[in-house]
Chain A
Amino acid sequence: MKGYLKTTAGFVLSATMASVSHADVTIGELQGFTGPLESMIGAMSGGANLAVTEANASGKYLQGTINVVQGDSVCIDPAVAIAQAEKMINDDNVMAIMGPNCSGNTGAVITNVLVPNGIVSISPSATSPALTTLEDGGWFFRTAPSDARQGPVLASIAMSRGQTDMAVTHSNSDYGKGLADAFVTAYEAMGGTVTVMAGHDDDKADYSADVAALSAGGSATLAILGYADTGGRGIIAASEDTGAFSDYVFGDGMISAVTEAAVGDGSWGTLPSPDAALGANWLAVAAAGGVDGSGVYSAESYDAMALIILASQAAGSSDRAAIQAEVMGIANGPGMECHAGKLADCLKWISGGLVVDYVGATGVEFDAGGTANGSYAEREVIGGAFTNVKIHK
């Protein structure tokens, strides 16, 4: 009996200690590796770890080698997300957390972990407008802009393109629903008509009924505010098969290689992105690092991770409060511009005492609440590929 206990205990100990060596620093990566967003996490995790690899390879990061502890937040289970975050903080002694993903989980982690423990987390993908009003004590940042901004941008582009009526379908998630509310409110205020608005469940069997109901409203344009890899893909397939819609409008979750291959020219969408050059730069950096840069939120993930690393460099320590004090300054500048793929220069500048402005893969600028405040690229499918048409502030 005794021997058994010893092995069990030893197992738990080494399981949690294995990845920590004391001369190094650790960052927690809290993402929904399993659960509803599991299909998107691969590219996001790739983006995040690319920033770490880059910083480590440069040898310019002064606090030691950066380790990453991954934790599976299951995306929609706050209890697991909280437990994983607490394990990272207390046991792995992380200096900050990159993540979590879904807005609900994020809210739970903010209230139950970040504020009480005093640690920074930067989420790459929690876009719910409700998070803006949640009390976060300044510990929470997000590199993806709030959907409260994307909605009006989408609406005004649609109106300027003369698309005055459309059907709207959103993913049945806090992301899809929040974006749809923001969009429809703005669109109707500008004089647009929403013929039908209906949610679709992700990962479901069949979307023909959804498309049939959407098309019955009579509009030829369909706005899809959801995920390219799951429900959105199904909606497009069902619509193309039945010829229900010919024009599509996409939220940022739909801008992906899967989508551009499935729809005809002329459909368009918005994606948080400062300008075409940055987008192209990110794709090249990602490709060189063997990461799918077109994956939704992969660029935001890179930025979230890079910001933590740079803030720690600027703080000159891995102290949690010191990191918090630096994030805003690094992200918003003014100073030398840091781009994706150039973390080595950036780390060097910071240690040399220069002031930097992290632009990164998506042109991160935070508003006062710590939410990315960047501009949106209007992307149109031209010749079977999403192409930047215009930048909307």
Chain B
Amino acid sequence: MNNLKNVWQSYRAVISFALMGLVLLFVGFNQSWALVIGIINMSLISAIMALGVNIQWGYAGLFNVGIMGFAALGGVSVVLISQQPVIEAIDAGGIKMLLALALGAVTIAAGVLLNRRGINKWLISLVVVIGYLLTRYYFSEASDLIEKVDPAITGYLGGFGLPVMLSWVVGGLAAAGAAWWIGKITLSLRSDYLAIATLGISEIIIYVIKNEDWFVRGLKNVYGLQRPVPYEVDMQKSEWLQNIVAWIHRSELQFLTQSEQIDKLGDYVREASVVFVKLSYSGLFLVILVAFIVLSNLALNSPWGRKVRAIRDNEVAASAMGKNITRQHLQIFVIGSAIVGIAGALLVTYDGIFIPTAYQPLRFTFLIWVMVIVGGSGNNLGSVLGAFIMWFIWIQSGPIGLWVVEMLGNYIQEGNTSLEFIEDRVHYLRLVFMGSIMLLIMRFSPGGILPEKNKEL
């Protein structure tokens, strides 16, 4: 028994990942590879997101509940970079919109400058209010003009028509910019303020995206985004794929009649094309994830990383030694948020659609947090493991819940009202399930499955 425990202690990471891999393999063999690779891809994206959060929480103890907002900024970048510009809309109101935005910027700048000069507060307020009203006037005129351009299909300015992979970088930069601003306001306050402020600001970001149609089409979604990988339908027509598939299944196909062969081959090619496209995504995501893990480990072992750890382990002492804690925290907050932004861009690219209403705190903030906690806060590999486990549970909890009810149903006679009641409501148990997992792990294994080494709790 002791032996087993020792093995577990020293090979925790290897064993856990191996187990997760086995579960996925099992699903692959029993259900389908397309399904498994789909789960893996979403897990990889979630892992990148969790990594960003883990850097903030594990390296600096920053509780960021605004993950949703940063991820959404990444999504916006995808639309802005990769969509084709809508020339008509730009002609209709593009210049006016630019002017309105410039006016807004001037107003803010004027307010800040006057404030620095120490001029009468009432006068500053007057300037700001007049500036705001003027901006609002031109702004609503411009946005009306843009939104009137074929609202069912476009009704927005469109993007720059650049390759979609560029938007991943831009998404990171956008999130970093927002994080810098939020951090400036709240990081010096510490404690729960950052949590509540990030929660609020992420909501504001979503409100702006939802309501400013001229920007990224608002509630009407942006369909058919560019892909960095080929389309399945095109793949199905490509000869090389057909040949490969025919070769793989040659033993099965050779005994069939010609028409059966074509039918069967068609099915196999279809499946192969789906798997191929998904695998291409997996490759891209995996490279990015590994790069981030390597980079963050390198950084932690650099002089900068030693400073980070010194501050985390003993803030008071570090502060006494003249380290600027707030600045340090701001750096980490910006880096972590940038990674979340990149993951947000990856997600929208993978979905091929931008849906502002999809940004819900439950899915984008709290699920990611559960991943970080379950996997092991402070440990990058832990976050990755947590992402795989929780995404698997998130996807499978529905079927498992239904299965439990069906099993119950075998013991209760047909038409029992309480059973029907449970069947109707079983979907809501997912919430209870997620919450309980989070609470249990926090209580009984505060370090998560893969706790960080050498960290005092």
Contact = CB atoms under 8 A, between A and B. Distances in A.
Tell me whether A and B are bound partners. Answer: yes
Nearest to A41: B427
A206 interface: no
A104 B363 CA distance: 16
B32 A90 contact: yes
Given A9-B26, A15-B403, A130-B223, A34 B31 contact: no
Ranked nearest first, the 7 interchain pairs of A and B with the lowest CB-CB distance are A90-B32, A116-B232, A104-B355, A129-B152, A91-B31, A15-B403, A177-B219
Given A34-B427, A77-B360, A90-B34, A12 B396 contact: yes
A333 interface: no
A70 B22 CA distance: 27
14 contacts: A8-B23, A70-B402, A71-B398, A80-B395, A83-B38, A91-B32, A104-B353, A107-B224, A116-B273, A129-B153, A130-B223, A173-B357, A177-B218, A177-B219
B433 to A, nearest CB: 12
Interface in A1-35: 1, 5, 8-9, 11-16, 18-19, 33-35
B27 A12 contact: yes
Given A86-B34, A130-B152, A137-B233, A79 B347 contact: yes
A135 interface: yes
Contacts of A172: 210-211, 219, 357
Contact of B351 (A9, A15, A108, A137): A108
Contacts of B23: 8-9, 12
Interface stretch (A178-186, A261-269, A371-379): A178-186
B223 A107 contact: yes
A87 interface: yes
Nearest to B7: A1
Interface string A69-93: 0111010111110111011001100
A199 interface: yes
B224 A5 contact: no
B430 interface: yes
A111 interface: yes
Contacts of B355: 76, 78, 104-105, 108, 174
Contacts of A115: 232-233
A148 interface: yes
B360 A148 contact: no
A83 B396 CA distance: 10
B221 A83 contact: no
A219 interface: no
B232 A72 contact: no
A83 B398 CA distance: 12
Contacts of A58: none
Nearest to B403: A15
A90 B168 CA distance: 31
B172 interface: no
Nearest to B351: A78
Nearest to A185: B151
Nearest to B267: A118
B221 A107 contact: yes
A324 interface: no
A12 B403 CA distance: 10
B398 A84 contact: yes
A177 to B, nearest CB: 4
Interface residues of A, number: 64
A197 to B, nearest CB: 10
A145 to B, nearest CB: 14
Nearest to A9: B26
Interface of A: 1, 5, 8-9, 11-16, 18-19, 33-36, 42, 70-72, 74, 76-80, 82-84, 86-87, 90-91, 102-105, 107-108, 111-112, 115-118, 128-131, 133-135, 137, 148, 172-174, 176-178, 181-182, 185, 199
B358 A77 contact: yes
B277 interface: yes
B180 to A, nearest CB: 29
* Range for the number of chain B residues in contact with chain A: 35 or more
Nearest to B42: A79
Nearest to A32: B427
Interface in B384-401: 394-396, 398-400
B351 A87 contact: no
B239 interface: no
B353 A111 contact: yes
Given A116-B232, A116-B270, A111 B31 contact: no
B35 interface: yes
A102 B221 CA distance: 11
A250 B270 CA distance: 44
A116 B277 contact: yes
A178 B151 CA distance: 8
A14 B424 contact: no
A71 B26 CA distance: 21
Contact of A108 (B353, B394, B399): B353
B317 interface: no
A83 B358 contact: no
Contacts of B32: 86, 90-91
A74 B364 CA distance: 13
B241 to A, nearest CB: 13
Contact of A90 (B31, B394, B398, B424): B31
A187 to B, nearest CB: 13
Nearest to A181: B151
B4 to A, nearest CB: 8
B192 interface: no
B329 to A, nearest CB: 31
Contacts of B353: 78, 104, 107-108, 111
A177 B273 contact: no
A71 B29 CA distance: 21
Interface in B17-53: 19, 22-23, 26-27, 30-32, 34-35, 38-39, 42
B155 interface: yes
Contacts of B76: none
B270 A86 contact: no
Nearest to A70: B402
A5 B34 CA distance: 23
B406 A19 contact: yes
A90 B398 CA distance: 17
A9 B403 CA distance: 14
B427 A72 contact: yes
Contacts of B137: none
Given A9-B26, A78-B351, A135-B224, 11 more contacts: A12-B26, A34-B427, A34-B428, A77-B363, A78-B358, A86-B34, A108-B351, A111-B353, A129-B152, A174-B357, A199-B211
B340 to A, nearest CB: 16
Contacts of A128: 220-221
B178 interface: no
Nearest to A79: B42
B361 interface: no
A177 B394 contact: no
Nearest to B394: A80
B305 interface: no
Contacts of A72: 398, 427, 430
Contact of B221 (A34, A70, A174): A174
A86 B190 CA distance: 44
Nearest to B425: A33
